[in-house]
Amino acid sequence: MSLVLTTASVPDRDKVAFWNDAVSRTLVPMTVAPRGAGPFAGRIATDRLGCLQVSTMEADAERVSRTPELIARSPEALVTVGVQVSGTATFVQDGRRAEVGEGDLVVYDTTRPYSFDYPQRFATHVFQLPRHALGVPDSDIRQVTGNAIGTGDGLGAMLRPFLAGLASSSAASPSGGYPPAVANRLAGNVVDLFATLITERAHPGGTDTDARSHLVVRVRDHINRNLGDPDLSPERIARSHRISVRYLHRLFEGEGTTVGALIRQRRLEECGRELARRGRTAPTVSAVAQRWGFVNPAHFSRAFRAAYGVSPREWRSLRTSEDAPAHPAVVAPEPGSGPERAADVHGADRQGG
């Protein structure tokens, strides 16, 4: 249900204190100082759309500040996109100062100090979402904060009417009149648009591909360094790189595999290499499996056979026999390969092909 807070029925002497509390409870804790001497008037209406909070705020001239002390009281990491509906503002964050005009967008991070100075009565739409939902690196967000984003062309031109309509529909009825499933899907689309906007602004000139490629390399390196951790998962990888799981999966859409399949493939490759080593004292199959992150020996055996067409013990016997190559190569299992494909690969290998 929509929440509407207004100073209309509050005694004049209590309006400022009421407004400070209303804004802090609705958005994030902040200090609001009126710029005029007369009675203060303000109104804020808020609703939720999935993971997205949509608010519309109208108020007299004021200065808004979010300080380190206030951040310590509410450390939740949120990213906010503001749309200046009327009036102007001076916005400061991350050492940058932006003059925000009617129709402009601003992006800010609630975990770092910022301020808005509104010299006259104004109205703004405020869209808040968890930072991790964006799935973009913190470095990209830092490059965009403290800037006004015009809506005359590009993605901004498309976003402005869409966000205005979304805020209006949310204010008109609870959840914008959307069923929960539709609201969640719509919120996901808005999050994707915001992520695209941030990426577009942070990487002008088409350098986003380079940034994504660099991140893929970092993720692959992280996987290789943590194969022995049985808890290695897409969720933990995303958390380590401060991106969303959805964005992590999106990164690997062009890699010909999934994150989970890559983890399994790399573990099987290392197990295959270790089992193929010759030595006077060879570790047990279960010890090798555990060393590379497989907790359940039966699961490991099934996965190994599905990838290579033979059991781990058969693999060891074939690779450590006297007539086997001294340094056998391990052929990486292909994503989605089954026993038939694996048997063909290793049959060719045994014949030297």
In tens, the pLDDT along 82-91 reads 999 999 999 9
Interatomic CA distance for residues 122 and 116, integer angstroms = 12
Last residue of a domain, one of 173, 202, 231: 202
Note down the domain range covering 85: 3-202
pLDDT band at 337 (very low <50, low <70, confident <90, very high): very low
Q: Is the pLDDT of residue 247 over 50?
A: yes
Instruction: Please check whether residues 177 and 218 belong to one and the same domain.
Output: no
Using CB atoms within 10 Å of the CB of residue 177, give its burial: 0 to 12 exposed, 13 to 18 middle, 19+ buried.
exposed
Instruction: Please check whether residues 54 and 170 belong to one and the same domain.
Output: yes
pLDDT band at 211 (very low <50, low <70, confident <90, very high): low
Among the ranges 129-133, 300-304, 345-349, which has the highest mean pLDDT value? 300-304
What's the pLDDT tens digit per position in 149-199?
988 777 788 888 889 888 887 655 544 567 788 888 888 888 888 988 888
Instruction: Please check whether residues 272 and 316 belong to one and the same domain.
Output: yes
pLDDT at 293: 95
Look up residue 343 and give its two tokens: 């048997």
Instruction: Please check whether residues 221 and 233 belong to one and the same domain.
Output: yes
Instruction: Please check whether residues 261 and 142 belong to one and the same domain.
Output: no
Q: What is the CATH number of the domain that holds 312?
A: 1.10.10.60
Instruction: Please check whether residues 161 and 74 belong to one and the same domain.
Output: yes
Instruction: Please check whether residues 197 and 210 belong to one and the same domain.
Output: no
pLDDT at 156: 81
Instruction: Please check whether residues 138 and 222 belong to one and the same domain.
Output: no
pLDDT at 348: 30
Q: How many domains does the chain have?
A: 2
Instruction: Please check whether residues 162 and 57 belong to one and the same domain.
Output: yes
pLDDT at 347: 32
pLDDT at 319: 77
pTM of the model: 0.61
Last residue of a domain, one of 148, 179, 202: 202
What's the pLDDT tens digit per position in 7-21?
999 999 999 999 999
Instruction: Please check whether residues 192 and 334 belong to one and the same domain.
Output: no
Q: What is the CATH number of the domain that holds 146?
A: 2.60.120.10
**What integer best gives the mean pLDDT of the chain?**
84
pLDDT at 173: 52
